[in-house]
A and B are shown apart, each in its own frame.
Chain A
């Protein structure tokens, strides 16, 4: 893969500036090193999807829509259970791509300054997937992802642009997920297993979010001045669409079908367009969009996603 005309020294200096952050986060990761097979000591033999809450109702994809009022309590609860499995599944798929990207970059010559932390990042993402997969395979299923790509999609880009997009997409994905984790880890209505999984993920991801923001800022500041207006405009368009692609996964027709609802694709479309859901997506995305705009990475909010 080619590289664009970013001065190497400038990029090296930007990455080296992350040194203290990398050391501090690595130290914290070592201190809270986990064994995912013992941390959650008891998985219940069975769960009761129509009686126990596994997602916060206010964070469900049908909350505030025309459908919500029509659902009785057991159906709302069942929907919350399948949406929990969908949330864990989209994390599994996101982490699979993330682990691939991290492994590819581990000990790459120009990224040596951050390799120490990439080890922890990779290790922790794998452990998160063990929890998510543990829930899905015990009590539900791993929902399929519609995220895919093919080489012929004519997206080939210089390496520095690929690096920037990889870490920027990771940050967007993780910041949205983290809002769900934070809210659901504190929701006393939720089943203890659901609270544990959300709490544990939030606790670990807080380090990744710090790393992500620092690295994305460093890459942007070092590289963007050399990219030219057209490239920057294209990257912005890509990132805005990535918000839409990420959020669409929360409105999964397969989930509605499993919850026993008729015409699941129509439900997904109408829920996506419902004003209450648009506002929910905007509110959950607020922090990461604010960060992207304040750094100049985005010049306007990703309106299509809201």
Chain B
């Protein structure tokens, strides 16, 4: 089971690979990733797969809200614990 910090680090590292042309220091755990266009909708399937792998449990796309992916904090809160309802 991964720690919360490991999940945060993995998410940040993945976001940076997708936004390689942006200033990495500017991305915090509160950065609005879609609103500030670090990520686009076309990144969502890969992001979802990463979140499933980090938590070790599936995520049902029919139960998702845009706010779940707003920033790293939101994703950790929503998906960080595999025991949470996906």
Contacts and interface: CB of A to CB of B under 8 A. Distances in A.
A18 to B, nearest CB: 27
Interface in A249-268: 249, 253-254, 265-266, 268
A210 B44 CA distance: 30
Given A150-B66, A152-B66, A268-B49, A241 B43 contact: yes
A146 interface: yes
Contacts of B44: 146-149, 153, 245
A169 to B, nearest CB: 9
A154 B43 CA distance: 13
A152 to B, nearest CB: 4
A144 interface: yes
Interface of B: 17-18, 34-35, 37, 40-46, 48-49, 52-53, 56, 58, 60-61, 64-66
Interface of B, secondary structure class, is: helix
Given A245-B45, A248-B46, 10 more contacts: A148-B45, A148-B61, A149-B41, A150-B66, A151-B66, A152-B34, A152-B66, A154-B40, A241-B42, A266-B53
Q: Which of under 10, 10 to 19, 20 to 34, or 35 or more describes the interface residues of A?
A: 20 to 34
8 contacts: A144-B61, A146-B49, A148-B44, A241-B18, A241-B40, A265-B49, A269-B53, A304-B17
A146 B41 contact: no
A238 B42 contact: yes
Nearest to B42: A241
Contacts of A304: 17
Contact of A145 (B18, B35, B61): B61
A134 B52 CA distance: 29
A200 B56 CA distance: 38
